[in-house]
């Protein structure tokens, strides 16, 4: 084995371990001076976005115990050439709240205390030469984390000039899990009143003479805002334009990693096709309104590379199942007392329109999630929507990639199952979509989806029947693997209601693709032969215009130059009832 070839550090979040393994690393140490500018900070990114590695880098950079290993660990990086004065000056207390388990508040409190105690005891051992012996002895006598931290900080203030840097990884991991598992009442008990989590942040705030720096990472600002009266001094720097690409791979960096492994003979699939897959499924996250740079999820990218290098071909399924499980924990927020709520309606609007106009909320509490702007802002922090274009002074938020589209479709389907008690018949639908992709037999898939849709919508209170029909149809047709589904797909001089784009790179033998124009009549509208003729004429005109898009012909490999036949469908609903579906 050639040890000079960089390894794929998938799942490696410890910086020393990564360097010792000769792991491939995109140098983001340029962000260290920017993060150093403020003493108390909150840095948020979606799940599995490299936050733990970032904290590990900061730990080894600022830890006084690693001063002598600076050249070894940081040689060749940006910060090695331009170190800051604060390098190697701190005692670092590193807390990882992703390790806090439990199903109830009581269990979580016990595990939280255990996690914190293990961390501070390890801290005491790591700095035994720097913490006076009498302080060490007094700390060892304490039975709680709070008492031990109190003892440490109160004594260091008078006996030493040493100062502490606290790094908190996944600060909101277990609070979000509690909200998903036990609901709002338990969550509020944790974060309000005398809840132990609120008490913890009050403790940190009280010790700010010795604790000079604190950096928290997590997914959303919601939990911190819910405990804000206990800890209100952290600056949320997550949308700082200077930090927009701190975690993640930019397009040039994606090209560089593909080219590197292709050059050393480890990556054999086509690099251009790999780039297309990566950007379609894991990319296009924009984290600042003031910077238009986009980044790709680094963990998913590395997982993709590892998979391709092991199998010598592209994965048929681009969905990370561990991440799907994480996101499905959010399904509870779209139902109230077993019924779909306004947040579910907001999801339907997002799916059918392709984007939403909103104000990004930087701080909100759990009880405000009933407001569309808070809920959609939560989706932004989770990475399910991202910053798009500004239109007439208003911010557009859009679904960033196909993976998040799939997760939102899962949200919708799970909502139908949970609140409408409907059997979605996923496997049957997937089979019929496979028939569509390879034989062009579209009617069974469309009619099955319409049948499930009718069952679903007939038991719902519909605010907007048209949006509900379009979003449900889109979610149902997303259950197969052969197509990348998109709503409001730009084609020609318009936007197709629904497109089933062939995943030609993964399934090169796919034979069919589809553009679908959805027409909707309210239940109260009367039907006539003239109505059908008018709707068909409108659909035909639109579909013919979309099909003239030469870019579509190239990217979908459409005939006559390619191998894929385009099916153009007009689908008309009368309320939740499928009135007719015809090929144009």
For the domain that residue 182 is a member of, what is the CATH number?
3.40.50
One domain for residues 309 and 348? no
Q: Residue 405 half-sphere exposure, CB side, CA atoms within 13 Å?
A: 32
One domain for residues 279 and 228? no
Average pLDDT over residues 55-60: 98
One domain for residues 367 and 432? no
- How many angstroms separate the CA atoms of 128 and 281, rounded? 48
One domain for residues 402 and 518? no
Enumerate helices (H) and strands (E) in the chain, giving the number of each: 24, 15
The boundaries of the domain holding residue 200 are: 27-239
Tell me which of 421, 446, 475 is where a domain ends: 421
Q: How many domains does one find in the chain?
A: 4
One domain for residues 275 and 296? yes
Instruction: Read off the pLDDT of residues 236-262 as tens digits, 9 standing for 90 and up.
Output: 999 999 999 999 999 999 999 999 999
Q: Residue 431 half-sphere exposure, CB side, CA atoms within 13 Å?
A: 5
Instruction: Read off the pLDDT of residues 508-563 as tens digits, 9 standing for 90 and up.
Output: 999 999 999 999 888 888 878 788 888 888 888 888 888 777 788 889 999 998 99
One domain for residues 357 and 490? no
Cβ–Cβ < 8 Å for 260, 24:
yes
The answer to the question of residue 124 being in a domain is yes
One domain for residues 200 and 58? yes
The answer to the question of residue 3 being in a domain is no
Average pLDDT over residues 553-574: 92
**Residue of 418, 560, 441, 408 whose CA lies nearest to 512:** 441
Question: What are the structure tokens assigned to 245, written together?
Answer: 């690409």
365: domain CATH number is 1.10.10
**Which residues does 287 contact at the CB level (< 8 Å), separation at least 6?**
45, 238, 239, 243, 244, 295, 386, 387
Q: Which one has a higher pLDDT value, 437 or 371?
A: 437
- How many angstroms separate the CA atoms of 281 and 400, rounded? 8
Tell me which of 173, 207, 239 is where a domain ends: 239
One domain for residues 61 and 187? yes
**Residue of 574, 515, 566, 512 whose CA lies nearest to 539:** 515
Q: Which one has a higher pLDDT value, 114 or 195?
A: 114
Average pLDDT over the chain, rounded to an integer: 90
The answer to the question of residue 210 being in a domain is yes
pTM attached to this predicted model:
0.93
The answer to the question of residue 403 being in a domain is yes
Question: What are the structure tokens assigned to 453, written together?
Answer: 């849709």
The answer to the question of residue 583 being in a domain is yes
Confidence band of 232 (pLDDT split at 50, 70, 90): low
One domain for residues 379 and 437? no
Tell me which of 421, 442, 470 is where a domain ends: 421
Other beta carbons within 10 Å of 311: 11
One domain for residues 374 and 442? no
The answer to the question of residue 72 being in a domain is yes
φ, ψ of residue 107 to 5 degrees: the values are: -65, -40
- How many angstroms separate the CA atoms of 106 and 103, rounded? 8
One domain for residues 269 and 122? no
**Which residues does 346 contact at the CB level (< 8 Å), separation at least 6?**
356, 372, 375, 376
């Amino acid at each position: 084995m050639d040890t000079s070839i960089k390894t794929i550090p998938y799942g490696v979040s410890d910086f020393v371990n990564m360097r010792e393994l000769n792991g491939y690393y995109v140098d983001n140490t340029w962000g260290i001076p920017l993060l150093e500018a403020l003493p108390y900070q909150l840095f948020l990114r979606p799940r599995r976005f490299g936050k733990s590695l970032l904290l590990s880098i900061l730990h080894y950079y600022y830890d006084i115990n690693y001063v002598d290993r600076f050249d070894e660990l940081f040689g060749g990086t940006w910060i090695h050439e331009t170190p800051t004065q604060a390098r190697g000056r701190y005692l670092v207390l590193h807390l990882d709240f992703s390790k806090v388990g439990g199903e109830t508040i009581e269990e979580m409190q016990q595990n939280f205390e255990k996690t914190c105690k293990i961390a501070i005891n390890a801290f005491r051992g790591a700095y035994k030469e720097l913490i006076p012996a009498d302080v060490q002895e007094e700390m060892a006598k304490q039975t709680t984390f709070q008492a031990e931290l109190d003892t440490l900080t109160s004594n260091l203030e008078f006996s030493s000039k040493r100062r502490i840097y606290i790094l908190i990884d996944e600060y909101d991991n277990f609070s979000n899990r509690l909200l998903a598992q036990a609901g709002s009442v338990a969550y509020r008990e944790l974060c309000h009143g005398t809840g132990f989590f609120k008490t913890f942040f009050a403790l940190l705030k009280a010790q700010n003479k010795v604790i000079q720096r604190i950096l928290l990472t997590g997914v959303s600002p919601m939990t911190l805002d819910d405990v804000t009266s206990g800890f209100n001094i952290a600056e949320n720097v997550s949308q700082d334009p200077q930090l927009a690409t701190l975690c993640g791979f930019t397009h040039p960096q994606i090209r560089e990693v593909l080219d590197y492994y292709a050059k050393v003979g480890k990556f054999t699939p086509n690099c251009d096709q790999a780039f297309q897959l990566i950007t379609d499924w894991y990319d296009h996250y924009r984290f600042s309104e003031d910077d238009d740079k986009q980044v790709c999820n680094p963990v998913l990218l590395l997982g993709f590379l590892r998979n391709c290098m092991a199998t010598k071909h592209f994965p048929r399924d681009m969905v990370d199942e561990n991440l799907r499980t994480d996101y499905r924990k959010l399904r509870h927020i779209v139902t109230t007392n077993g019924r779909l709520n306004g947040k579910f309606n907001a999801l339907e609007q997002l799916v059918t329109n392709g984007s939403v106009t909103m104000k990004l909320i930087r701080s909100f509490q759990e009880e405000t999630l009933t407001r569309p702007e808070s809920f959609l802002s939560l989706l932004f922090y989770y990475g399910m929507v991202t910053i798009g274009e500004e239109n007439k002074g208003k911010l557009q938020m859009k679904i960033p990639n196909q993976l998040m589209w799939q997760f939102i479709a899962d949200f919708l389907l799970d909502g139908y199952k949970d609140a409408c008690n409907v059997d979605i018949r996923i496997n049957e639908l997937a089979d019929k979509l496979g028939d569509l992709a390879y034989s062009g037999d579209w009617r069974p898939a469309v009619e099955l989806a319409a049948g499930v849709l009718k069952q679903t919508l007939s038991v719902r209170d519909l605010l907007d029947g048209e949006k509900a029909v379009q979003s449900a149809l889109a979610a149902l047709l997303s259950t197969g693997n052969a197509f990348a589904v998109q709503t409001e797909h730009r084609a020609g001089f318009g936007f197709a209601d629904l497109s089933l784009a062939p995943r030609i790179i993964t399934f090169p033998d796919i034979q069919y693709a589809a553009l679908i124009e959805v027409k909707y009549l309210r239940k109260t509208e009367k039907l006539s032969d003239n109505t059908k003729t008018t709707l068909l004429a409108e659909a035909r005109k639109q579909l013919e215009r979309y099909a003239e898009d030469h870019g579509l012909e190239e990217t979908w490999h459409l005939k006559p130059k390619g191998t894929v036949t385009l099916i153009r469908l007009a689908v008309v609903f009368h309320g939740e009832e499928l009135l007719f579906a015809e090929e144009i």
